[in-house]
Amino acid sequence: MKRAVFRNRWLPYALLAPQFVIILVFFYWPAVESLRLSLFRASPFGDRLLFAGLGNYERLFRDAAYLRSGVTSVIFSVAVTFLGLGVSLFLATMANARIRGLTVYRSLLLWPYGIAPAVAGVVWLFIFNPSYGVLPYLLSFVTAYRFNWLLEGWVALALIIVTAVWKQFGYNLAFYLAGLQAIPASVLEAASVDGAGPFRKFFAITFPLLSPVTFFLFTLNMTFAFFESFGIVHAVTQGGPGDATSLLVYKAWKDGFQGLELGFSAAQSVILMIVVIGLTALQFRYAEKKVTY
């Protein structure tokens, strides 16, 4: 803690004022308002709000479209996270050698961080183009199946998953490579001397020692998949075909801004709020553990 402290009665409050004006007006007030709004529904003429209690939430959990959207979101986030982390961990482990030029590789891996999810989506949209995209073209040599994302829900879902994984891939790989470099070679050599094979070494040493990196990347990718994927869906599939790629954030936005069902949309926002709180709590519980470790 600081010992040298300035003394002033009002200055600290003045310094905090800009931040507080913004968080009160644009964060806390709307959050509370969302909670309140989620308990109301519009009157038949849409001119005033009627108290609905937990009606909106009840409706959510009976609404087949919402439940489908929940399942789609879980599939999407799990696929993005596990595929992304799995592939990059595997490659990083294979590539774990003391080589020249690692900083150059790091730069070449990290730049997609700067590309907006929506723009990345537009690029992949062309790669997946059913008539002349390079991917369906290549696949046509392997199988007669027509990979048309406009018609097949699962192809559309694959399109947004691939876009998200691509965008996060270099970032994940760079962090794993750095994490592996920090594992002392002597530990792995000692294991080799004791006769441990590559699998044994990976599961007994590398994976546990990398767990802080894995955990950090896990929450980061989950958050990305849940909350930053909106741009990909909106710019690329618009939730379609049907509602095959209608993720939770996209559905909340659509019901609120196009359907103008404010209470129903607010209830969806509150569910998302619970997801964020869960992810944040998870992150901190783990961090606490590391401190006492």
66 neighbors 251 (Cβ within 8 angstroms): yes
The residues, any chain, with a CB within 8 Å of residue 243's CB and separated by 6 or more, are 65, 68, 69, 72, 251
Look-up: residue for tokens 């308990």? 39
Kindly state the smallest distance separating residue 93's Cβ from another protein, in Å: 10
Start-to-end Cα distance in the chain: 23
In the chain, what's the furthest Cα-to-Cα distance?
A: 78
Task: Of 67, 117, 110, give the one whose Cα is nearest residue 224.
Answer: 117
Looking at this protein, which amino acid is placed at residue 194? D
The residue among 79 and 171 lying less far from another protein, judged by its C-beta, is: 171
What is residue 237's DSSP assignment? Answer: I
Of 122 and 196, the one with the shorter C-beta distance to another protein is 122
CB 7, min distance to another protein, A: 8
Q: In the bound complex, what is the minimum distance in angstroms from residue 78's beta carbon to another protein? A: 19
Residues 99, 180: contact at Cβ < 8 Å?
no
Least distance between another protein and beta carbon 203 (Å): 20
Q: What is the DSSP string of 77-140?
A: HHHHHHHHHHHHHHHHHHT-S--TTHHHHHHHHHGGGGS-HHHHHHHHHHHT-TTT-HHHHHHT
Residue type at 191 in one-letter notation: A
Question: Which one, 124 or 147, has the nearer CB to another protein?
Answer: 124
| Least distance (Å) between residue 154 CB and another protein | 20
CB of 168 to another protein, least distance (A): 11
